[in-house]
Structure 1
Amino acid sequence: MQYHVDGELVPVEEATVSVRNRGFMYGDAAFETVRVYGGEVFEWRAHADRLRRTCDALALDHGLSDDELRDRIRETLRANDLDDAYVKLSVSRGVQPGKLSPGPVEDPTVVVYVADLPRGGRPDRGKEPVWDGPATAAVVETRRIPDAALPAHAKTHNYLNGILARLELGDEVDEAVVLDSDGNLAEGATSNLFFVRDGVLHTPSLDGPILPGVTRRVVLELAESKGIPVEEGTYDPADLRSADEAFLTNSTWELRPLAAVEGTDGESGDDSAELGAGPVTERLTDAFDARVESEHYE
């Protein structure tokens, strides 16, 4: 394997950054995780826009255009002969004097990491899902950092909030459902959350401390195109546990059905619920698969 580090393709064993890099020292870096289908990034414009918003929040002017960043991704894919892949694009200020306050960005560190990730889809279409099976989740005690403390829209290397949430899980649980400081549903540690009740698709509103996931946005667009009613709002764990069906979204999982929710949340008095896929989840999964097919393979 070869990765792209600071403008050069290098073998994986040589793909390193300095221990004085601010991304390593302070988590002072931005990143995007993207899916590649048929050799091209899925929803590149949305990912590039979100990366720009993160860099703006960090006052990190790396000086590279969106086209230059995408070219580095393409070069890395070609070097590894990958058509369907996982890509992580990271940008930091690079090496600076060891103090908390950052200086001007003179030599940013830009890394492109890639891995083979077969295309997802539906088994009845001859395509195996990218996940091993429906997910299980647990409501955890770790709360989402308030937006006023750390902007929820900023996708940075500082992922301690998600790590602490995942550390609460048992070995058999796939995802941590994190609540906001008021006890309302926020998101998964690395995913956005959807549930269905009486044919209506619900998801926590971006008014809360929620990362605006690219796959989340695509799902909302697909729901509108299919005439599926959608409500973005404020919900508590009991709303999720009483749903008819539920699923999680991110770039690697695409749409992953949520089979069960464990954990306690104070006053609900209920610590588990059986959920799973249903007609709305299946319609949206089919629509997502069709969009990937039409945009990347036809």
Structure 2
Amino acid sequence: MSRIVYVNGEYLPEEEAKVSIFDRGFLFADAVYEVTSVLGGKLIDFDGHAARLQRSLGELDMANPIEIEDLRQVHRELVTRNDIDEGMIYLQISRGADNDRDFVFPDAETVPSSIVLFTQSKPLTQAPAAKTGLKVISIEDIRWGRRDIKTVQLLYPSMGKMMAKKAGADDAWMVEDGEVTEGTSNNAYIVKDGRIITRHLGREILHGITRAAVLRFAREAQMQVEERAFTIEEAQQADEAFITSASAFVMPVVEIDGKTLGDGAPGPVAQRLREIYIEESRNTAS
């Protein structure tokens, strides 16, 4: 059965889905996105993703073409129509499609924003990498300065993943002014002497929804959390490391730039946080 997607108010088979060649998401990467995970056919932290979506739209002065409660219903409808038990829902809103290409923003009163959603069915709780851990390399962070806005400008992160693949690794951590910002599609953490260390919020990194939940759970579990920048050298001397994202949840990191952490196996803090996150997400998914 063909996957059903949502495009500008319509549910369509993916083969019939179309957007204009003049859509600014296609021409200028003038679009924002969110990815909401699904567990047991229910949405994880939809409200958090919706709030960040609103913030991203506001920072770019872009209109939201759909009310949040209607958006929630679209998510649920796509889960039902595509019979998703575990997976993700990708949402993208662009500034719309004018009748030609122009750097100047179109008038929002006459050119409505475009919205697209589709599902991806994939195992999340039983991801093989959770048992083996990830290997990461470091690369220079040369992205634009507003990484706190979740835009579709993902060319360099995509290149970073390809750099990692070419180096025989799984992902890359980006470094700016000698300090780790984040992974190509995730937030980065190290653990030293029982303390969880992750970069503080700012324009340099995406304000991860999973990050916020994991840090809250860590503090509730009486774990020490320190929000500050760290270097690759410090990370290589850490007891363990991990990443968080909507699709990976909490994923251990066992090697950084060829340096093995600990005994080369996923560490206890990352493993415990993954267990807590999955349990709490199952309990609160809606």
Question: TM over 0.5: same fold?
Answer: yes
Q: Which residue is equivalent to 2:115?
A: 110
Cα displacement (A) at 1:259? 1.3
CA distance in 1, matches of 2:96, 2:32: 12
Cα–Cα, structure 1 residues 222 and 169, in superposed 2: closer, same or farther, change >3 Å?
same
CA distance in 2, matches of 1:131, 1:272: 18
TM-score, normalized by length of structure 2? 0.91
Residue 134 (structure 2) pairs with residue 135 (structure 1): yes
Residue 45 (structure 2) pairs with residue 46 (structure 1): no
Cα–Cα, structure 1 residues 289 and 170, in superposed 2: closer, same or farther, change >3 Å?
closer
Please, which moves more after superposition, 41-50 or 171-180? 171-180
**Structure 1: 5+ residue stretches without partners:** 121-127, 263-270
Deviations 1:138-172 (A, max 9, x none): 001x3143xxx542211111112312322322343
CA distance in 2, matches of 1:295, 1:77: 17
CA distance in 1, matches of 2:228, 2:274: 22
Given that 2:148 and 2:203 are in contact with CA atoms closer than 8 Å, whether structure 1 keeps it comes out as no
User: What is the identity, as a one-letter code, of the residue corresponding to 2:49?
Assistant: H
Given that 2:165 and 2:171 are in contact with CA atoms closer than 8 Å, whether structure 1 keeps it comes out as no
CA distance in 1, matches of 2:201, 2:142: 13
Q: Which residue is equivalent to 1:295?
A: 284
Given that 2:63 and 2:112 are in contact with CA atoms closer than 8 Å, whether structure 1 keeps it comes out as no
Q: Which residue is equivalent to 1:125?
A: none
Aligned-residue CA RMSD in angstroms? 1.8
Runs of 4+ in 1 over 4 A off after TM superposition: none
Cα–Cα, structure 1 residues 70 and 131, in superposed 2: closer, same or farther, change >3 Å?
farther
Q: Which residue is equivalent to 1:123?
A: none
Please, which moves more after superposition, 86-95 or 111-120? 111-120
Q: Which residue is equivalent to 1:69?
A: 71
Alignment of 1:93-108 (within 5 A): 93-96=95-98, 97-105=100-108, 106-108=111-113
Given that 1:186 and 1:208 are in contact with CA atoms closer than 8 Å, whether structure 2 keeps it comes out as no
Given that 2:255 and 2:261 are in contact with CA atoms closer than 8 Å, whether structure 1 keeps it comes out as yes
Q: 2:273 aligns with which of 266, 281, 284?
A: 284
Cα–Cα, structure 1 residues 238 and 43, in superposed 2: closer, same or farther, change >3 Å?
same
Given that 2:146 and 2:203 are in contact with CA atoms closer than 8 Å, whether structure 1 keeps it comes out as no
Residue 185 (structure 2) pairs with residue 196 (structure 1): no
* Matched residues, number: 277
Please, which moves more after superposition, 98-107 or 159-168? 159-168
Cα displacement (A) at 1:208? 5.7
User: What is the identity, as a one-letter code, of the residue corresponding to 2:146?
Assistant: P
Residue 254 (structure 2) pairs with residue 239 (structure 1): no
CA distance in 1, matches of 2:82, 2:62: 29
Q: Which residue is equivalent to 1:265?
A: none
User: What is the identity, as a one-letter code, of the residue corresponding to 2:104?
Assistant: S
CA distance in 1, matches of 2:147, 2:190: 21
Given that 1:162 and 1:189 are in contact with CA atoms closer than 8 Å, whether structure 2 keeps it comes out as yes
Deviations 1:50-108 (A, max 9, x none): 11111111110124211111111112111112232211000112211311111223322
TM-score, normalized by length of structure 1? 0.87
User: What is the identity, as a one-letter code, of the residue corresponding to 2:189?
Assistant: F
Please, which moves more after superposition, 170-179 or 86-95? 170-179
**Structure 2: 5+ residue stretches without partners:** none
Q: Which residue is equivalent to 1:165?
A: 160
Given that 1:194 and 1:202 are in contact with CA atoms closer than 8 Å, whether structure 2 keeps it comes out as yes
User: What is the identity, as a one-letter code, of the residue corresponding to 2:80?
Assistant: R
User: What is the identity, as a one-letter code, of the residue corresponding to 1:287?
Assistant: I
The alignment-based identity, stated in percent, is 27
CA distance in 2, matches of 1:34, 1:130: 21
Given that 1:242 and 1:273 are in contact with CA atoms closer than 8 Å, whether structure 2 keeps it comes out as no
Q: Which residue is equivalent to 1:29?
A: 31
